[in-house]
Each structure stands twice: as structure tokens, then as C-alpha cells.
Structure 1
Amino acid sequence: MLDLILLIDDDDTTNFLNKRLLEEMQVAKEILVYNNGKDAIEYLSEACAENNTSDKICPDLIFLDIKMPVMDGFSFLDEYQQRNLDSKDHVIIMMLTSSASFYDLERLKNYNRVKKHYSKTLTKHDVQEVLQQFFSNR
């Protein structure tokens, strides 16, 4: 079982459905939802800091939407790298999209932390695939 999964998406319905699926599958002790990348970066800046003294924990897995207001998925990934939040090697990022353009998918290849992209909303098969591929030791 994972300690924490972050869902970062501006679509409340998608967040509700994804969170419900993850809870039903009992894959994580905790699931946090953020409606934009900026709020998620603020959480991660504290939770994933080397000298973290808060009770916030760095997630094992992040599902990140590409197109969001305030801070989109690509801006999030840039900020994540700039702040060196990817120094904790265990964090896996999966992109979520409702309309993956060729340009977006090519651009994702620039981010080694992003392992794959999935269409919204997640399915049981998607989650099982992620767990098997990246967390089989848990």
C-alpha cells in the first residue's frame, strides 16, 4: 500500500471519480486532491524538502492533469524540477489528459519523472498497471 497519492486536476468530477476508484481499490493510506499545480507545488515544497519537519509526507505517486488554469501540468513539471523536488527518486508522476495532442505527448518526453500518460478518468486496469510496473515491491 502506498502512503500518499496526489491528484492534481482542475476538474472536480474527474477528481471525485479518480479518488473514489483509488479508495475502493485501497491503494494508498491517503489521497490528496489539488485543483491546480500552484497549490500542489506549495504542498510538495514543504513535504518533499530535505529538512521537512512538518507532518506532511512526500507522495509516492502523482496523477497530474496537463491542461489546468493557474498552473498547467507543464509549468508544474518545470517548477518541480527547478525547486529540485524530484530529488526524492521514489516519486512517480503520471499525466492525465482528456485530449492528448501529439505536441503535448512529445513535450512530455523532456521530463524523466513522467512515466506515462493516461486518458481521463482512470480505470481499475490503469491503476493496476501503475502499481505493477512501479510499486510491485510493496
Structure 2
Amino acid sequence: MKSVKTILLIDDDDTTNYLNHRLLARMEVAEDIRVVTNGEEALDYLVKAFSGAEGHPRPDLIFVDIKMSVMDGFEFLDEYQKFDEEKKLRTVMLMLTSSASFYDLERLKNYPEVRKHYSKPLAEGDVREIMEEYF
């Protein structure tokens, strides 16, 4: 199976982060898996990554939860859209959610950066599909 250099998990749920991190590490799909717990932390990380800061590799794949405290997934996406298109070009953005409400799924259509949504936690089949489809 293909692998990427860096994956960024954005979720405020420790259990979900643990399960997703463990699955991705076990499947060896990334050299580096970073975890942040809200949209603000993610934006801070990405500002550093996109500027080439040491210790902040640019993520090839981002998983972002919709419902988070501090800054939710939609607020994060609003800010993410402001990044230079050139910097976002090589990054695949996917949404994770535990409640795929019709309203949330319709709202995701406003964010072209989001390729697809998945229920959390990730399953092995999801990861295989993602790696085959996007990398």
C-alpha cells in the first residue's frame, strides 16, 4: 500500500485520536502522524508548515472533525480557504464525523477542499480506499 510523509488529525476527542492514530500507524500509511485538538491549533500548525518552519512538515493528508470545541471544523475550513491555493494544492482534506447530519453534509459542499467525509473512527477499509484514491 502507498504511504505519505505526514498526516494531520484534527479532533478534540482523545479516544478517536487514539484509535485513528493507532490504525494509521499499524497500517504504516505515514512516516509522521500529528494530532491537534481543535481548529485553532490546526491553523497554527499549518501556518508554520506552509511557511517551511522546522518541525512542522506540510501534511499530505488532513482529517478534520466537524464538531469540536474552541473552533469547529466549519470555522477551521473558513480560515483554511484563506491560505494560498498553491500551498494547499498537494494536501488532501477529508472530514470525519460521528453524526453525519443532512445539514452538515450539505454545508460541506461549500468547501471544495474537502474531498469526502468519513464516519469516525476510521476503519481499515476507509484507509485503504483513501490511499488508493488519493495517493
- TM-score band, normalised by shorter chain: over 0.9
Partner of 2:10: 8
Partner of 1:95: 95
Check if 1:36 corresponds to 2:34: no
> Displacement, 1:85?
6.5
Check if 1:18 corresponds to 2:26: no
Q: Which amino acid aligns with 2:54?
A: S
- Separation in 2, partners of 1:15, 1:122: 10
> Displacement, 1:55?
3.6
Task: Detail structure 1 runs of 4+ shifted over 6 Å in the superposition.
Answer: none
CA RMSD of aligned residues (A): 1.3
> Displacement, 1:81?
1.0
CA displacement 1:2-48 (0-9 Å, x = unmatched) = 01001100000000000000000000000000111100100101101
Partner of 1:125: 125
- Structure 1 residues 62 and 88: CA distance shift in structure 2, 3 A: same
Partner of 2:62: 62
Gaps of 5+ in 2: none
TM-score, scaled relative to structure 1? 0.92
The more displaced of 123-132 and 74-83 is 74-83
CA displacement 1:59-101 (0-9 Å, x = unmatched) = 0001100000000000001111123377331101110000011
Q: Which amino acid aligns with 1:99?
A: S
Q: Higher relative contact order at CA 8 Å, sep ≥6: structure 1 or structure 2?
A: 2
TM-score, scaled relative to structure 2? 0.94
Q: Secondary structure at the match of 1:82?
A: coil
Q: Are the equivalent residues in 2 in contact too, given 1:10–1:36 (CA < 8 A)?
A: yes
Gaps of 5+ in 1: none
- Separation in 2, partners of 1:109, 1:117: 11
- Separation in 2, partners of 1:85, 1:14: 30
Partner of 2:71: 71
Percent of aligned positions that are identical: 57
> Displacement, 1:54?
2.5
